[in-house]
Structure 1
């Protein structure tokens, strides 16, 4: 009942701050002018709707918040922010964090272990990011790596349930999506296995994408948005599929 203020126009993003983000992340600067303008508009709305929290002594500056917002908005540039309406909080750590995990296997045995995390998206919960991995890097872009897009792709995926690599899709795309994604995931997983077990050439995308279809979708989204040219060469069928989803009517 107190959310009425969120519908008011958001404060404009200062020009110097916006230009700084475009310089830091060239894949954003390469967008056509109309799309950059749309990105700026949605980034301002995103900043108005979400709450940023610094952890372990990290102070959230305007530069940090906008860098994250602009990259998070990129996947929904043509879809709108409704795909992110199931959460508010974004927690940013200065560096990787160690999370304690407890898992029960099929035999009922409980396993406790630690996992090093760069980021995490929780279903109907906040997004966690590490600033050291969000900061601009030419190496990251060339490798098709982008932590923010990865975690926010998970949020899109989770919007209709668990992260299974199948976000909410228009009816006419569902069958094609499942066919192509399943085939591309199997082929990628085979390449990773051949590399890890038999020394074959390493695939271009992060091998973490071979974990399960949900991670493959998130890893593929990173590359699609930050290195479209290489992604097109490596995954032409996924390029066509993602274009139909992320740019409907384009």
Structure 2
């Protein structure tokens, strides 16, 4: 009885959120026009993405910095891109935090790091996005609009892939695996493919002669930055999966299939669910 009552209240909250944060038809069409990598989704998938985008907006608090005006266009575009990876999973993967902070452009990150000798350094660098464990996602609006698909870059998908990676407590390139979504994929199967792909990519990058580095960096589908840590490799490959799926599958077929199984989407083909069964969504 309690379970049925809880489900009833959950359904009521969902319906209210969808009404309160309904997306205007013109704004939704403009959002789709600005995100050409959504073309693999059929009409039913796009309708679910629209609902999920509204629910995301209902659950999160958007704010801006440096005088940037927060607009509906900005909110819907970011929310739609953030919702895409969890379209066939659940917004539950984004639980435990609420803030999305949008800067006009790149912003400065200041960190304290300890080197191999135990010496602590204060460092700072420019960034286009950052995801805090238990905290907000911070984005550059200038970068968030780079969505024409000319390369595999997508700062929104990248940072929300980090949030998914964090959902099981560690940011290590090994996201949470749930039986109801990911069976028969388990930690061992994930490691067999993902860790091997990461090691191979690192070796590939290390083997590039300095004189050829600039060309390699321009032409590589996977940003060499992905060698920095397995978590970055996961986030960068997630970008490639959704933004350049056909090229990603052609160059890294086994890794493509692993991520497609994880996200339960097959972006290289029409229809998000091709071969992955029906979604189990809340």
The verdict on a shared fold, with TM-score over 0.5 as the criterion, is yes
Contact 2:36 2:147 in 1 (8 A): no
Contact 1:159 1:167 in 2 (8 A): yes
Shift of 1:162: 2.1
Question: Does residue 78 of the first structure (1) align with residue 88 of the second (2)?
Answer: yes
Q: Indicate the SS of the match to 2:63.
A: strand
In structure 1, which of residues 185, 188, 196 is the aligned counterpart of residue 201 of structure 2?
188
Looking at structure 2, the residues matched to 77 and 17 of structure 1 have their Cα atoms a distance apart, in angstroms, of 20
In structure 1, which of residues 41, 46, 56 is the aligned counterpart of residue 51 of structure 2?
41
In structure 2, which of residues 245, 254, 260 is the aligned counterpart of residue 228 of structure 1?
245
Unpaired runs of at least 5, structure 1: none
In structure 1, which of residues 20, 24, 46 is the aligned counterpart of residue 34 of structure 2?
24
Matches within 5 A, 1:183-222: 183-195=196-208, 197=210, 199=212, 202=216, 203-222=220-239
In structure 2, which of residues 243, 252, 258 is the aligned counterpart of residue 241 of structure 1?
258
- Which moves more between the two structures, 9-18 or 42-51? 9-18
Q: Normalising by the residue count of structure 2, what TM-score does the alignment of the two structures yield? A: 0.82
Aligned pairs, number: 246
Unpaired runs of at least 5, structure 2: 1-9, 266-275, 278-282
Looking at structure 1, the residues matched to 147 and 91 of structure 2 have their Cα atoms a distance apart, in angstroms, of 26
Contact 1:6 1:49 in 2 (8 A): no
Greater RCO, CA 8 A, separation 6+: 2
Contact 1:21 1:67 in 2 (8 A): yes
Looking at structure 1, the residues matched to 200 and 189 of structure 2 have their Cα atoms a distance apart, in angstroms, of 17
The two structures, once aligned, show a CA RMSD in angstroms of: 2.0
Question: Does residue 147 of the first structure (1) align with residue 147 of the second (2)?
Answer: no
Q: Normalising by the residue count of structure 1, what TM-score does the alignment of the two structures yield? A: 0.92
Looking at structure 2, the residues matched to 37 and 92 of structure 1 have their Cα atoms a distance apart, in angstroms, of 26
Q: Indicate the SS of the match to 2:208.
A: helix
